[in-house]
Structure 1
Amino acid sequence: MDNALIAAYRTTDYRVRLAQGGWASIGIDAPVPLSLRDLIGVHTWAFITAWNPFSQMRSRAQNHAAQQALLAALRRLLTTIAVRPAIGVGKGWREPSFFVIGPSLAETDALAQQFQQNAYVHGLADGYARLRLSSDQPPRGQAG
């Protein structure tokens, strides 16, 4: 994965649909928005998608099918507390996503690999949002 792609991930606006309407925006290396803190509580959370595996464009039908499979996998996890609709908005692109509360890093890493995602965003409680590289090849973990 090249630096330009990591930079694109880092500048993406990660938007979570709020139950009362509107959106909360998550930024990499920024604190979780106040509007999400009550929902998150003391739990881990992640912002993940199944769209465009390895950042390669796929058809809408392929992306939709993969996203439905990801949602089913998230709901099967015993640690999942909540799943909210979300969308990642970058320069010239948008990807439907999920904001999920509860799964561990290991569980989210496994899903990111299963759905061939280069990275996802995660955090703990009301801490900072971090970009996590999900390749099964070293280096793996936080993007600097």
Structure 2
Amino acid sequence: MDEKLIEAYRTTDYRVRLPRGGWVSIRVDAAIPEELLPWTGKYAWAFITAWNPHSEVQARTQNRAAQQSLLSAIRELRQTVCVRPGMGVGEDWREPSLFVVGPDLFETDRFAQHFRQNAYVHGLGTSPARLRLTGGSTPHGQAG
């Protein structure tokens, strides 16, 4: 995977919508924001999207349909504890996303691969956010 693309993932502002309004940001390699701790507890969590597979721009209607499919699949899992709307914001782009608590890495990798995502951000409980690369043959831990 292109180093410039990995750097874009690493510097993205991963925003999670709070229930009473406003947003809180997750940053790769930083502690998860306090506002999210009541949800994460001891659980695995991820920030993932189905938009723009392989980081290639798709039509809005196609992206929305894929995102709805991802949301439905996540909600069907018994492990899912919480799903909040999110927004990945880069230097010159933004993608609707989901902050998901509960599914483990195996399930989240499966979603990322099914929806052809190159990477997603994840953590466990209060652990720092990590970038997980899913492009290629086997998903692997943190980039760079």
- TM-score normalised to structure 1 length: 0.97
- Aligned ranges 1:26-105 → 2 under 5 Å: 26-105=26-105
Question: Residue 109 of structure 1 aligns with which residue?
Answer: 109
State the identity %: 61
**Residues 1:139 and 1:47: Cα distance change in structure 2 (over 3 Å):** closer
The corresponding residue for 1:4 is 4
Instruction: Report deviation, 1:33.
Output: 0.5
Instruction: Tell me which amino acid in the other structure corresponds to 2:45.
Output: W
Structure 1 residue 48: Cα displacement: 0.2
How far does residue 138 in structure 1 lie from its aligned partner after superposition? 4.9
CA distance in 1, matches of 2:104, 2:52: 23
Tell me the residue number matched to 1:125.
125
Letter of the 1:121 partner, please give it: V
Cα distance per residue 1:49-106 (max 9 Å; x no partner): 0000000000000000000000011011111011000000001100000000000000
DSSP-derived class of the 2:39 partner = helix
Asked if 1:25 corresponds to 2:25, the answer is yes
**1:84-141 C-alpha deviation (Å, 9 max, x unpaired):** 0000000110000000000000000000000000000000111100000012425733
Amino acid in structure 1 at the alignment position of 2:71: L
Amino acid at match of 1:84: R
CA RMSD of aligned residues (A): 1.0
2:132·2:139 contact (CA, 8 Å) conserved in 1? no
Give me the whole-angstrom Cα distance separating, in 2, the residues matched to 1:61 and 1:123.
30
> Matches of 2:85 and 2:137 in 1, distance apart?
30
Aligned residues: 144
Does structure 2 retain, via aligned residues, the 8 Å contact 1:113–1:136? no
CA distance in 2, matches of 1:52, 1:18: 24
